[in-house]
Chain A
Amino acid sequence: MWQKYLFPATVQEALEMLTAHPGESQIIAGGTDLVLQSKRGQCPATVIVDITRIPGLDFIVERDGFIAIGCQATHAQIAASPLVRERAEVLASACGSVGGPATRNVGTLVGNVVNALPAADGAVALFALDAEVEVADANGRHWMPIAELYAGVGQCVLDPCAQMVTTIRFRPLKPGQASACQRLANRKALALPTLAVGTVVGVKEGMCDMVRISVGPVAPIPFRAREAEATLLGQPPMSEAIAHAAELAEQAAQPRDSLLRGSSDYRQAMVGVLVRRALTEAVAKAEGR
């Protein structure tokens, strides 16, 4: 399957290992997706660069006004992090629903993102948190909005033989702001989501001053329901306004018919239900109820 398995000691060394094998190299962290892709012949890489032994990349910290999560942080670590649970609950819940415990012990949030699947629980939560990612390559490091990483279903814009994501960051929620997620799946555990919804809401003096709604998989990439967000912004978060926003999110979603996940019609109708529930929950928490 693979010809070389390398352990770099620094990000710089990892990038050098990648670029030394153009067209053949690929980063591995937990490997819960990459191993399957390699087994199925869906990944051409033969030189595997394992970044899990580079010191100092497993952080989950608050710094410079952001929550920053390193590329080695696993779903289990993020789901258990008091910082994430308190200040970005939607992400803790999402990471806690990925796969089973053994997958969460190994799989990373950054891996969830760079695999670029629209159903990825962690990614849906990060869209609701308006996250950014730090990309390292030969030119240095730069930040980009998470949505710009996505080129299509399972396609990340980064060059796997030259670039890596080192950090994800987003603003922690403040008093008066709260998040919630809703998930529909065939089983309570070990099941990919039929639908996943993440919401972040801020309420100030009785009005919504922040609304973000993300949904997956209803489009080639995790989907932000912008019209639904706009209709609720500046409004009091009453149940009629929430129901209207949920209706707009439902109309904007374009889920495919899927033997695995259910019909397009069913899933579209459920987008409205889940968005309404997630908004209602987030508003109640933001208002301290």
Chain B
Amino acid sequence: MRYAYFPGCSAESTARDMHQSTLAVAGALGIELIEPKGWTCCGATAGHQTDRVLAASLPAANLVKIQNMGLDCIVNCAACYNRMKVANHEISTDSDIRSSVADALGQNYDGSVKVRHLIEVLLEDVGVKKIKASVKNSLSGLKVACYYGCLLVRPPKVVNFDNPENPTSLDKLVKMTGAESIDWPCKIECCGGGLSLSRTDVVVNLTDSILGMAKDSGADCVAVSCPMCQVNLDLRQQDIKKQNGKDYQMPVVYITQLLGLALGIGPDKLGFNKLMVPASKVLEKVI
């Protein structure tokens, strides 16, 4: 199993833990990940809020590089995944966008590189059987609220990821670790995404309601697969305490961190020390 792996800019900053745990889990499950040389930013929310051609061209610059590698593209950051899927869709369905992108890149791109989220590859290519057989530590007794956020599941017709209103992919992976995935109503609510710095007040209110629901539903931790969701839910707990007076102390971990623990990988190799709210409730299951 060989794939081109697009880490995304967060992998070099706020989501080093996501990047580290992705590589560790891939290694343990025999998935070969090759970074495209010279990969660049997907443009994120700022890109599509500014200009449609810019928003399609920035991901396309990477997709062209991956096309030359002859591999499918794997992304773990939900935001990059979304931008790449949307760019492929726009380029392959809108001839004006396609020619403007070709002009911007200086080469033609047809929108055909297959973009997949790591979760899809784990469930479809590696498979439940192999993952279950590789589990060394059961996380039994741990209650996990799986949080998908927006960008993994929307727009449904373009990303075509799971059920857009009640996705279960993360829940399936959590169950493979021996942990319990709880039923709760905030799976696809928005954390405020890119407004984290510009409208911190909005993000604090949105994350407060999500974390409050996770707590009331009995979760020991929240599992995510998006660096923006992780930062907003983890880092902003300090601000929720200041602004709204609630102290959740709710660990927010990447699904690859949970999976890594179950596969017997040490917490130091999964970036657990980088979380703002310590994941002691999670780690005590393996120590």
Query: Are A and B interaction partners?
Result: no
Q: What is A's interface to B at a CB cutoff of 8 Å? A: none
Q: What is B's interface to A at a CB cutoff of 8 Å? A: none
